[in-house]
């Protein structure tokens, strides 16, 4: 295969076209909610980078009921992209952080909307349990829906998880992935590869942990520094610096090299929130960063999974031991 022809990473839109024969769009659903890291259960301040929108900055008002939100978003995507089939995307805050009956009603309301072929549920690794997963497994089987759970992890470095005040460590993430996979429900993992206290080793280890756990999708974004957050205050006081764009691109490329090529990259670069920001994507368009990552991979003739060689007794392969 020539350098030009090589597919550099397992890109989501190509995966969707292959799986469904067309591009499938995610319709955000915004529910009134909070998260245990804000309401006092685990803490009150939230993660140090989180603004009050709970990471759902593209959503309609949470006062609208679920079918209306989905229909309104559907009309937009139909008009703009000629879209025909959709995922309902429970995006903001922690969507499993409610009683089981409320959760069931929310999911069933979304599943009943025409042209919804799947449901994506964003949550924290410590807010998903067997009862919720059993319900999701049952509606997946009964209604033939594709279901995935999006888990915010951000980094596998549990010291950094403490510093960013996540309120959970790596173990809760591993537990949530294993329980979800046991029910044949897909997992999506959110990662930030340039958290202030992380380095290249953490990016590599994040790729390795996602790979060996068998997660299905990864979403990357760089660090956004929102004013009126603790992270914003720390940035303003000069308590940390953000790595350069070139260094960040090196980290993303390294991450991809170590990542199992089976894992689909749902997002290589995030667009960043609107509003009051100190820092977002090096003041560069997200698509320029994505293009540069792709260029760097081509220049280095590298690809996702090039260094995925560390499983199943990797040391044996350098000796005469049987694999
Ligand atoms: S878990 Fe999510 S919603 Fe809760 S504080 Fe952290 S980023 Fe915000």
pLDDT in tens, 34-66: 789 988 898 888 999 987 665 555 678 888 899
Q: Is the CB of 35 under 6 A from ligand 1?
A: yes
Residue 76 has pLDDT above 90, yes or no: yes
* Statement: residue 261 has pLDDT above 80: yes
Which phi and psi angles does 96 have, rounded to 5°? -100, 5
User: Is 323 inside a domain boundary?
Assistant: no
Residue 54 Cβ contacting ligand 1 at under 6 Å: yes
pLDDT tops 90 at residue 319: no
Per-residue pLDDT averaged across 226-235, rounded?
94
Substitution site in 152, 163, 190, 232 for ligand 1 pocket (most atoms within 8 Å of beta carbon): 152
User: What's the CATH code of the domain at 33?
Assistant: 3.20.20.70
Q: In this predicted structure, what is the pLDDT of residue 25?
A: 93
Q: Is residue 285 part of a domain?
A: yes
pLDDT value of position 45: 85
Averaged pLDDT score across all residues of the chain:
92
Higher pLDDT, 317 or 244: 244
- Buried residues in 274-307 as b, exposed as e (16+ CB within 10 A): eeebebbbeeeebeebeebbeebbeeeebbbbbb
The closest residue, in CA terms, to atom 7 on ligand 1 is 50
Residue 320 has a pLDDT of 57
Instruction: Please state the atom number of ligand 1 nearest to the C-alpha of residue 166.
Output: 6
Task: Establish if 6 belongs to a structural domain.
Answer: no
Q: What Å distances lie between residue 121 and 31, 100, 125, 150, CA to CA?
A: 12, 14, 12, 6
The answer as to whether 53 is a domain residue is yes
Judged on CB neighbours under 10 Å (0-12, 13-18, 19+), 273 is middle
Number of structural domains found in the chain: 1
Residue at 2 is within a domain? no
Q: Does any domain span residue 4?
A: no
Quote the pLDDT of residue 43: 87
Closest to 223 measured CA to CA, from 49, 38, 47: 49
For residue 54, give its domain range.
12-318
Q: Is the pLDDT assigned to residue 89 strictly greater than 80?
A: yes
Task: Say whether pLDDT at 209 is over 90.
Answer: yes
State the distance from the centre of ligand 1 to the C-alpha of 151, rounded, in angstroms: 11
CB 149 within 8 A of CB 180: yes
pLDDT of 306 above 90? yes
d(CA 73, CA 58): 11
pLDDT of residue 4: 64
Q: Which numbered atom of ligand 1 lies nearest the CA of 51?
A: 8
**pLDDT for 17-26, tens place per residue?**
999 998 899 9
Q: Is the C-beta atom of 164 inside 6 A of ligand 1?
A: no
Residue 294 lies in a domain: yes
Minimum-distance ligand 1 atom for the alpha carbon of 49: 7
* Residue among 124, 164, 223, 229 whose CB has most ligand 1 atoms within 8 A, to mutate: 124
- pLDDT at residue 146, as a whole number: 95
Q: How many whole angstroms from 81 Cα to the centroid of ligand 1?
A: 31
Q: How far is CA 245 from CA 48, 70, 187, in A?
A: 22, 36, 28
DSSP labels for 254-269? HHHHHS-TTSEEEESS
Rounded Cα distance between 181 and 176, Å, is 9
Mutation choice for ligand 1 from 57, 94, 123, 173, CB with most ligand atoms inside 8 A: 94
Cα–Cα distances in Å, from 85 out to 82, 116, 148, 197?
Answer: 10, 6, 16, 41
The pLDDT assigned to 121 comes to 95
Cα–Cα distance measured from residue 63 to residue 69, given in angstroms and rounded to the nearest whole number: 9
Cα 49 to middle of ligand 1, angstroms:
8
Residue 7 in any domain: the answer is no
173-184 as b/e, with b when 16 or more CB fall inside 10 Å?
bbebbebbbebe
Q: What is the pLDDT of residues 130-167, one digit of tens each?
A: 999 999 999 999 999 999 999 999 999 999 999 999 99
Q: What are phi and psi of 12, to 5 degrees?
A: -60, -45
Task: Determine whether the shortest distance from the Cβ of 219 to ligand 1 is under 6 A.
Answer: no
Give the model's pLDDT for residue 321.
Answer: 56
- For residue 167 and ligand 1, the question of a CB distance below 6 A is answered with no
pLDDT at residue 126 above 70?
A: yes
Atom of ligand 1 nearest to the CA of 38: 5
Q: What is the pTM of this model?
A: 0.93
The pick from 33, 46, 160 for probing ligand 1's pocket by mutation, whose C-beta has the most ligand atoms within 8 angstroms, reads: 46
Q: Residue 200 pLDDT more than 90? A: yes
pLDDT at 323 over 60: no
Evaluate: CB of 74 within 6 angstroms of ligand 1.
no
């Amino acid at each position: 295969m020539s350098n030009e022809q090589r597919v550099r990473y397992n890109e989501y839109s190509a995966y969707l076209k292959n799986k469904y024969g067309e591009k499938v769009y995610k319709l955000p659903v915004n529910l009134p909610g909070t998260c245990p890291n804000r309401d006092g259960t685990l803490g009150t301040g939230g993660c140090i980078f989180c603004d009050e929108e709970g990471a759902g900055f593209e959503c309609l008002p949470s006062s609208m009921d679920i079918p209306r939100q989905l229909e309104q978003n559907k009309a937009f995507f139909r008009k703009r992209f000629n879209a025909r089939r959709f995922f309902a995307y429970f995006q903001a805050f922690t969507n499993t952080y409610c009683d089981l009956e409320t959760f069931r009603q929310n999911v069933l309301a979304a599943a009943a909307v025409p042209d919804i072929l799947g449901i994506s549920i964003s949550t924290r690794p410590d807010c998903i349990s067997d009862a919720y997963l059993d319900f999701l497994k049952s509606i997946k089987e009964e209604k033939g829906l594709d279901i995935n759970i999006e888990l915010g992890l951000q980094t596998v470095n549990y010291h950094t998880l403490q510093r960013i005040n996540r309120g959970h460590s790596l173990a809760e993430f591993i537990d949530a992935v294993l329980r979800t996979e046991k029910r044949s429900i897909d997992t999506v993992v959110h990662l930030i590869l340039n958290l202030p206290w992380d380095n290249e080793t953490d990016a590599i280890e994040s790729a390795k942990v996602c790979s060996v756990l068998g997660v299905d999708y990864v979403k990357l974004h760089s660090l956004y520094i929102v004013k009126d957050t603790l992270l914003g205050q720390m940035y303003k006081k000069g308590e940390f610096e953000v790595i350069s764009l070139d260094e960040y691109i090196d980290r993303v490329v390294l991450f991809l090299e170590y990542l199992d090529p089976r894992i689909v990259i749902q997002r290589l670069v995030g667009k960043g929130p609107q509003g009051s920001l100190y820092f977002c994507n090096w003041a560069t368009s997200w698509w320029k960063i994505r293009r540069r990552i792709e260029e760097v991979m081509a220049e280095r003739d590298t690809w996702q999974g090039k260094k995925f060689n560390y499983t199943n007794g990797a040391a044996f392969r350098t000796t005469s031991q049987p694999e």
